[in-house]
Amino acid sequence: MTSRAGAEIHLDEVDLGPGVVAGFTDRRGGVSRAPFESLDLGAHVGDDPRAVAANRERLAARLGCRVAFVDQVHGADVVEVSGAHALPDDVLAPVGTADALVTRADDVALAVLVADCVPVLLADPVARVVAAAHAGRRGLLDGVVQAALDALVARGGDITRVRAAIGPSVAGSSYEVPAELRDEVAAVLPPTAATTAWGTPALDLPAGVEAVLRAAGVPHVSRSARDTWGDAELFSYRRSGRTGRFAGVVRLV
């Protein structure tokens, strides 16, 4: 198991304020072999567990701390991570079952795994509390983004200071769905209604996430323009089927 010559973990960093490190990985810098090449961080996709463990260790080294992962189930539950001491010894083991995490500890990073769904990173740099959420279609409708915000505020965060970053995901121009499904989701979140580049019904999940954040009063929202469907440096389940997972990560320093 060797990574591509000269490849290093790339973290597309985003500004969530002083004392916060946050960003999104891509496929570069890991040891997994095709079709998971190379920085696959998903322990549930059929990759060699030794490769995934090595990749997670590389991510931890890049961030300078241990990284908390959860068993994601497309819901809206939030796990609080009290610190690195609360993480399992096995780097492949989840810290809980949920689709969002929150912490006030500065010795641990929070991670959500995606391969088309929307990774959302949140921080209040003044209160020193951070959160991360995995927002797929079901989780978005069930309120996972609002739940992550609520968890952050419950631990001292102030909505007027919150900074949010919406990471790479499948774009509305690429996420084709049946018209009935588009209409069902758009009835709850109108900004999700979209049309693919080839003229068929679609969903724009990043737009839905942004709408939830704006409606909650979050003043600082950044949104990646990267589309997993068309970006070969990102994993995409819709494009490839059997593939790995990249991550949105955030920590206090």
Give the mean model confidence (pLDDT) for residues 133-149.
Answer: 97
**Smallest Cα–Cα separation from 96: which of 112, 115, 107?**
112
Instruction: Give the pLDDT band (50/70/90) at residue 4.
Output: very low
In terms of pLDDT, which residue wins out, 1 or 136? 136
DSSP letter, residue 161: G
Asked whether residue 212 is assigned to any structural domain, the reply reads yes
Residue with tokens 């000269």: 6
> CA separation (Å) from 15 to 55, 66, 133, 136?
24, 21, 17, 23
Q: Answer yes or no: is pLDDT of 3 > 80.
A: no
Kindly report, residue by residue over 181-226, the tens digit of the pLDDT. Answer: 999 999 999 999 999 999 999 999 999 999 999 999 999 999 999 9
CATH number at residue 248: 3.60.140.10
The enclosing H or E element of 249 equals: strand 246-252
Average pLDDT over residues 83-110: 97
Distance (Å, whole) CA 47 – CA 37: 10
| 71 inside domain | yes
Does residue 1 lie within any of the structural domains? no
In a domain, 125, yes or no: yes
**Rounded Cα distance, 119 and 209, in Å:** 10
Question: CA-CA distance, 217 to 199, in Å (whole number)?
Answer: 33
Give the residue from 153, 162, 227, 241 showing the smallest Cα distance to 194: 227
* Structural domain contains residue 102: yes
Residue 55 lies in a domain: yes
Quote the domain boundaries for residue 100: 12-252
Residue 239 included in any domain: yes
Which of 140, 139, 122 has its CA nearest to residue 131? 122
**Is 6 within a domain?**
no
- pLDDT of amino acid 2: 36
Tally of domains within the chain: 1
**pLDDT band, very low/low/confident/very high, at 8 (cuts 50, 70, 90):** confident
